[in-house]
Amino acid sequence: MRDTGALVYVVDDDVSAREGVAGLIRSAGLMAKTFASAEEFLTAPRPKMQSCLVLDVNLPGLNGLELQRELAKSGVQVPIIFLTGHGDIPMTVRALKAGAANFLTKPFDDEELLNAVRQCTKSVQGFQPGTGDRIKRPSPAAGRDVLTGANTKVFPPFRLDTINQCLWRRGEAGEEERVLLTPKAFAVLSYLVEHAGRLVTQEELLDAVWPDTFVQPEVLKYQIADIRSTLGDDPKNPLFIETLHRRGYQFIAAVHDSAAAKPEPIALARSDRVLDELWDCLRRAFHGDRQIVFIATEPGIGKTALADEFQQQAAANVPGIRVARGQCVEGYGSKEAYYPMLEAMGQLCRGFGGASVVETLAAHAPTWLVQFPALVKREHREMLQQEILGATRQRMLREAGDALNMIASGSPLLLVLEDLQWADPFTVDLISAVARSRTPAKLMLVGTYRQPDVTSSDHPLKALKPDLLIHHLCREIALKPLGEVA
């Protein structure tokens, strides 16, 4: 294994075990840095480079699982490989459920640990935050692979991208949302999909996903349950994964390879230039310089396809990014205030890391949290309703800004609001407030709209956009018909 420029942290209170693991990692061409306790690791400066953490579970003071929770609370995203000499099934399940990349029991095989480290460092090589201007947009060919690669398995409404190791869910309106899985859950699902239509025994799955490693069958049952929850699959009436009692599992949905989609004219003519601009904004947003970008088009030009491509490329190539989308709806008479932002916020609450978003709304935006009664226990909902009694739209505006600042203070956040020509005035006010906030946030908001529908009316966006442009608080990308391109 050659030197990839990655740094592996080793946290273990046993000095001989600690130095032994570090020596093994260095012998494979990687850098290693050791710590005797979780507290020492938390207080030490850490360079901003691709890294992973080899962590002993049974540490004095703050133990390994508690350190994992502290890192998650702080927004620190580093793959964790747990080591333990006293592992049990509940401990393994807790670690994996909280996002651990792997869980090895001492004594472990040297190559087993190195393979786990290889997987972790490989998974973070494409995105290295904090090292200057190094967030790279994938090549156009790579972008097309993300969207329609030959190594894509489709079982509607899901699409499994085996190259970028991610799962996509297509909504009723045709938009796609990235669904995050742990590495092991993705490996289990991939194997089942690859062997769809036949029985896959427990022993076969364990050998395929955990080669040369002893793993209790209960761990596999947890991974299957996690996958079912992600797919929304009922084990009693399955649409995707059927359990064959005491034998194994069978993927029962129809699976086919994705055919390459024919690019729209806008993608052929100008997507590279526009996507370059969008990736430049995302780089700036990652460093805390919030970005507001308007994509203005003429009727019939594929703004949605372009926004889709950027959203999917960002989700596939930027680990840890949160992506949410809101759709403005054409209507007659009154419109629900903040409708597209409510849709986007709901996606954040139900997506990967949604529990932390719900906690943020509870603390900073109760007027928003109460809009999602299914996410709140009844007794808490009653308390929230009392707290927000008499709340105004202006309070919702202030609270939304505070919540977005908190959500985007650690991990980057990409919001896409479609068809702003139909946006309600409160949504436009919220965009204005987000753009004018001086709080650093890793936030990028992309709004699309049809230019004629805004310029020929009294739409509030007509007055807002020039004001933001004058004060350098937004960027506008205007897409013209193909005949007008020089």
With pLDDT > 90 as the criterion, what percentage of the chain qualifies?
20
Predicted confidence (pLDDT) at residue 60 exceeds the cutoff of 80 = yes
What would the pLDDT profile of 258-304 be if each residue is shown by its tens digit?
643 333 433 334 556 788 889 889 988 988 899 999 998 876 666 67
What would the pLDDT profile of 117-134 be if each residue is shown by its tens digit?
877 776 444 333 333 334
Structure tokens at 481: 């018909």
Q: How far is it, in rounded angstroms, from Cα 443 to Cα 445?
A: 7
Q: How far is it, in rounded angstroms, from Cα 14 to Cα 17?
A: 5
Q: How far is it, in rounded angstroms, from Cα 294 to Cα 311?
A: 14
Res. 405 pLDDT band, cuts 50 70 90: very high
Same fold, 7-123 and 265-484: yes
Which of these CATH numbers, 3.30.360.10, 3.40.50.1110, 3.40.50.300, 1.10.10.10, describes 265-484? 3.40.50.300
Look at residues 359, 363, 429 and name the one whose alpha carbon lies nearest to residue 402: 363
The pTM assigned to this predicted structure is 0.50
Res. 441 pLDDT band, cuts 50 70 90: very high
Q: Is the peptide bond before 460 cis (omega within 30 degrees of 0)?
A: no
Contact indicator for 444, 293 with CB cutoff of 8 Å: yes
Domain 7-123 has CATH 3.40.50.2300: yes
Q: Give me the residue spans of the domains in the chain.
A: 7-123, 150-257, 265-484
Kindly state the DSSP code that residue 258 receives in the 8-state scheme: P
CATH architecture of 150-257: Orthogonal Bundle (1.10)
What is the length of the chain? 486
What would the pLDDT profile of 206-245 be if each residue is shown by its tens digit?
888 877 666 667 778 878 888 888 888 888 888 899 998 8
Look at residues 419, 272, 292, 410 and name the one whose alpha carbon lies nearest to residue 343: 419
Contact indicator for 122, 103 with CB cutoff of 8 Å: no
Q: How far is it, in rounded angstroms, from Cα 263 to Cα 175?
A: 16
Beta strand spans in 63-126 (E): 80-84, 102-105
What would the pLDDT profile of 12-22 be if each residue is shown by its tens digit?
998 888 888 88
Beta strand spans in 288-442 (E): 291-297, 322-327, 413-418
Neighbours of 401 (CB within 10 A): 20
Predicted confidence (pLDDT) at residue 434 exceeds the cutoff of 70 = yes
| Residue 368: φ, ψ to 5° | -85, -40
Res. 54 pLDDT band, cuts 50 70 90: very high
Contact partners, residue 56, CB within 8 Å, separation at least 6: 11, 12, 13, 14, 17, 64, 82, 83, 84
| Residue 375: φ, ψ to 5° | -90, 0
Q: How far is it, in rounded angstroms, from Cα 148 to Cα 201?
A: 31
- 217-231 and 89-97 are packed helices; what angle lies between their axes, rounded to 10 degrees? 30
Q: How far is it, in rounded angstroms, from Cα 138 to Cα 131?
A: 18
